[in-house]
Structure 1
Amino acid sequence: MSSIRVTGLRVRHRKTLALDSLDLTLGTGVHGLLGPNGAGKTSLIRVLATVARPDAGRVELLGEDTAGHRGLAGVRRRLGYLPQDFGYYPGFTVREFVAYVAWLKDMPAARVPAAVERAVARVGLADRIDAKVRTLSGGMVRRVGIAQAVVNDPAVLLLDEPTAGLDPEQRVEFRELLRELGTSATVVVSTHLVEDVAAACTEVTLLDAGRIAYRGTPEALTRLGEASDGPGDHPIERGYTAALRAHRAPGAREAVR
């Protein structure tokens, strides 16, 4: 069963078409969402998180149509979401903030303390759980954001630029967490870092100007790069560039496979 099904999705920001008749189906696993600035990645994540509404099209999450209010509250309880611009209460401790988000998600009160400690430990902040959020570094705050997104063990986890501010060691640990989460949940990671996709994702969707330019595995994108002499330090980076160029070529009718 697909956790996410998008059909004919259109999102417009004033006069700009951010997503153009997008069709996309995602199931269990870690799905990397790549693309240049303005490709529509954040617009898609926001619609999937139910914080923005599309101008046209159909979005089904966990078998529920998000256009109506019936069932939407239940879907939101099963979502995890980290926006690119993560808002938080600086006067809260890490424990208090993650517990607050658990409360917003209607988690049973008896489950919250253990769930909070587990989520904070998963992002490597167990020793700072009672520190005020305002005392943390930028990378630590980002990890608090990841903790609040996973506290309810979501069936669908949506992460927009989650590794921003993380150092190399933290990014490696985060990739391990993604792989663990992807065994039982549908995880969508929007990122500019192609190497994160190569290391952690089971599938790649490349957006360009609101349309799908490529869908496939990281391994297939790497093979595409190995056959290309385009720019990039690594094969998967060259594959990214090759897929974009193929999509933009005059007369191109479908995404590179």
Structure 2
Amino acid sequence: MTEVNPNIRPGFDLRGRTVLVTGASSGIGRRFAKILGASGAQVVLAARRLPLLQELQTELEADGVKAISVAMDVADEASTIAAYDAAEAAFGQVDSVVANAGLSSIGRAVDLPIAEFDRVVAVNLRGVFLTVREGAKRMMAHGSEQSGRGRIVIISSITGQQVSPGLAPYSATKAGVTQMGRVLARDWAEKGVNVNTIAPGYMHTDLTEGLAESRTGQALLAKFPRHRFMDADALDATLLYLCSDASAQVTGSVFTIDDGQTL
């Protein structure tokens, strides 16, 4: 039996890693960037709203974090490629990607303009595909097959696993990226790129602002075993784990973090 040194424990030290975070201008993407930077990573802040990214960059740099801001429309292939080019020019290899950018649309399907449906699909499904595909290409080009250090984390949702009235387009895209992540994990397993998905429950974020006080929110809270939305820090540890060397043998997994909301 192999002896275990009690003083050695897996750590989430991200020094030496460069992480690109989409949707970093607000919400959990903004928090992700701060947590990753605090753990030692160089952070590429990517979103369409460049001024908000630059404000966050200033905050991070004040705390000693190396960060850059890149304007990136995840639904546009040329914009995605340009963002990775800028990241590599500043920091070299991007070895970790957090595909977080997303938007929601709430309402009855029969009333939904098809342009709104297309917008949700473009960001939540096409955008994730373009983000992770370009990231994986770069990782492979930089030798991930030999190093095994490629990390991709897709942010999905529990609405992709259960029926959520009024969220047909959003739920469909989240179910889609969850399955996409599993397929890509298999496709890229031999190339040293791990692909995992986090499916959060309802959290206190920009997207859910005001929801808890609404009639819909009150109905949700009544059904949850713990009758609450999750706090903003609920995903921190899992995100750091999946971006770190500690998760070397984890790929194709879906981590449901929902405080028991789907029970």
In terms of fraction of residues, the more strand-rich structure is: 1
Give the TM-score taking structure 2 as reference length.
0.28
In terms of fraction of residues, the more helix-rich structure is: 2
Q: Tell which has more relative contact order, 1 or 2 (C-alpha 8 A, sep 6+).
A: 1
